[in-house]
Amino acid sequence: MTETAGRRRRGISARGLRVTTLDRVEHILNPSGPPLTPRTAVVWSVLRAELDRRPAGELTVLDVGGGTGGFAVPLARAGHRVTVVDASPDALAALSRRAAEAGVAGRVRALQGDGDALAGLVEPASVDLALCHAVLEVVDDPSPVASALAGALRPGGAASVLVAGRAAAVLGRAMNGHLDLAAALATDPAGSTGPRDTLRRRFDAEGAAALLTAAGLTVEEIHGVRVLAGLLPAAVADGQPAALVELERTLAARPPWRDIAAQLHLFARRPA
């Protein structure tokens, strides 16, 4: 038996790490995509569950503010047809290059446009799965974007929405000694420190769920993304990446840990 085969049998990877359930899940979930990290693992688990419950075949996917295609390209590689609507021509150019390099240019459509004007870009009620990740905190007004997202979904279609969490930002500022900014973030109605803040708003789970509910969606699941990753010393996060991803997955659905995550992931559905 070769050394590699022997290691595999004993559950030891080439880097000397034990091959955990997580490693196998990573391979099953995203064999040709980027490695799962605390930033992506929980979201991919939720998306994978949705893809698995659908009958085999190509889904119509919309990624609003999809940027350079971190989710769009792996979804296209998995056989789905993805439209990315983004305000930035530079992001869309990078997306097109990435899709071409991955051999899925024919399944990825890049459209420049605004998230609150989807009706002119995407046929209403035509989308099986709509992503809107890290967008609602930067747009002028999140309500029309949430409504446009809901309007694009076919009845029974699902939305994957990722938003910035307020509690993590408060903790982060406080731990860095910026107590004034922490107080401002905690008390500002939008969860922003003002015009110099990079984000216009931050959310707690209830507020984000209320936004999607008002848009006509039924929220089915809420997870925290990066509960601990931003709080740990780099030596811990970098030194035990697989264990950290596993711990993130363990904590993601469980308040109070869920609620201090850097981002909140909401999985919602347009009623059938």
Ligand X SMILES: C[S@@+](CC[C@H](N)C(=O)[O-])C[C@H]1O[C@@H](n2cnc3c(N)ncnc32)[C@H](O)[C@@H]1O
Residues that bind ligand X (CB under 6 A): 64-67, 70, 85-88, 91, 114-115, 133-135, 138-139
Q: Which is nearer to ligand X, 38 or 67 (CB)?
A: 67
List helix spans (H) across 102-204: 142-152, 166-175, 179-187
Q: Which is nearer to ligand X, 72 or 260 (CB)?
A: 72
The helices-and-strands tally (H runs, E runs) of the chain is 11, 7
Report which DSSP code applies to 103: T
Place of tokens 């929220």: 219
Residue from 148, 261, 259, 130 nearest 211 by CA: 148
Q: Which is nearer to ligand X, 85 or 215 (CB)?
A: 85
Burial 76-105 (b: 16+ CB within 10 A, else e): bbbebbbbbbbbeeebbeebbebbeebebb
- Min dist CB 99 to ligand X, Å, is 14
- Min dist CB 102 to ligand X, Å, is 16
- Min dist CB 92 to ligand X, Å, is 8
Calculate Rg over the CA atoms of the chain. 19
Q: Which is nearer to ligand X, 117 or 175 (CB)?
A: 117
- Min dist CB 162 to ligand X, Å, is 6
